[in-house]
Amino acid sequence: MAAQQNPIVLQNQTDDLPLLLIHRPPFFTILPLTHLLSRHFHLLDPHLQPPSPSHPLPLDDFLSLHAPSLRAVVVVGIHPFTADHLRLLPSLELVAGTSVGTDHIDVAACRRRGIAVTHAGYAFTEDVADYAVALLIDVLRRVSASDRYVRSGLWPVRGEYKLGSKLGRKRIGIVGLGRIGSKVANRLRAFGCRIAYNSRKEKPSVPFPFYSNVCDLASESDVLVVCCSLTAETHHIINKDVMKALGKEGVMINVGRGALVDEQELVRFLMQGEIGGAGLDVFENEPNVPRELFDLDNVVLSPHSAVITPESIESMTKLVLANLKAFFAGEPLPSPAQEDQI
């Protein structure tokens, strides 16, 4: 890694903080992160340019102006960081992501340039796993639908709400047994579920049955929990064949990325009762959610919030800082993005 050949030690350099680019959407930032980073770095944020210029510089010009001295960027959330951005930053050596997934970053182009990429590591994995379990019990036991039923005042009028289905002894197929998938598995074992998984390759240390083919996993599962990384190979990994194999009573939970699932087919399968239900925290075209889903009681919809709690933001913030400090100190990075995240 280039940084290791040319270390800059941060200690006693408070007058001359290293430059750090904050790459984020115009209307979104993570305040605890930028507050913490601003104590260790001189932050360059194209959306927060000093008030002196009557017209702020366009992004490209802003980047070009600061490009020669920029060695590191923090990519906030899932804001796309593309080959076009990389071209403007010839000195870049580190892309520090704040999310677990790196599909919004052109990791291949980074690798070709020898640019290191770090991600949120384990900071969010517990929260995502918790949320996946909550979505699953919610779909099976109709928790959100029951809440709507009570709030609409129907309980005294129509009586008992329709029964849900028991979680225990359900056959759970986990698509992507990585950091998140493993935690989902551990949680669901405590409920008496039976776990199997699909992954890029079999994991010898894992006690669960492995299926090399997602369709085979689906046909042997009551529930699929989708929590793999989004890559070219996993795009639409849950297609109509998989949904057909999952079957009329089958339930699908997606806490990975929207594009892991063929959303148009999913909507069709749900509308026609060809799968049993779905718990969806992610969508193909966020923040837009197919409106056909709004009237279905067998789906639970959530605005890509599985990943975040104040506690996990604090963990992530510390991890991003640790990655940046390690980089500028020429030390090994705490959470480099792996190529095999599925």
| Residue 286 is a catalytic residue | yes
Sort strands 223-226 and 194-198 into parallel, antiparallel or unpaired: unpaired
Torsional class of 273: left (φ above 0), alpha (ψ -120 to 50), beta (otherwise): left
Kindly state the smallest distance separating residue 93's Cβ from a copy of itself, in Å. 31
Q: Is 127 in the site for a copy of itself (CB under 8 A)?
A: yes
Round to whole Å and give the CA distance between 115 and 71: 9
Q: How far apart are CA 246 and CA 276, in angstroms?
A: 9
Query: Could you tell me the two tokens for 10?
Result: 């941060």
255 binds a copy of itself, rule: CB under 8 A: no
60 binds a copy of itself (CB under 8 A): no
Does 192 interact with a copy of itself (rule: CB under 8 A)?
Answer: yes
Site string for a copy of itself, 4-43 (x = CB under 8 A): -----------------------xx---------------
Please indicate whether residue 119 is annotated as part of the active site: no
Q: Assess 249 for contact with a copy of itself (CB under 8 A).
A: no
The reply to whether 84 sits near a copy of itself by the rule CB under 8 A is no
Neighbours of 212 (CB within 10 A): 11
Rounded (to 5) percent helix, strand, coil in the chain: 40, 15, 45
Dist. CA 244–CA 246, nearest whole Å: 5
Binding flag, residue 50, a copy of itself (CB under 8 A): no
Tell me, yes or no, if 112 is annotated catalytic: no
Distance of CA 91 to the CA centre of its chain: 28
Active site residues: 257, 286, 304
Q: Which residues bind a copy of itself (CB under 8 A)?
A: 27-28, 126-127, 130-131, 133-135, 137-138, 141-144, 146-151, 153, 155-156, 159-161, 163-169, 186-187, 189-192, 286-289, 291, 294, 300-303, 305-306, 308-313
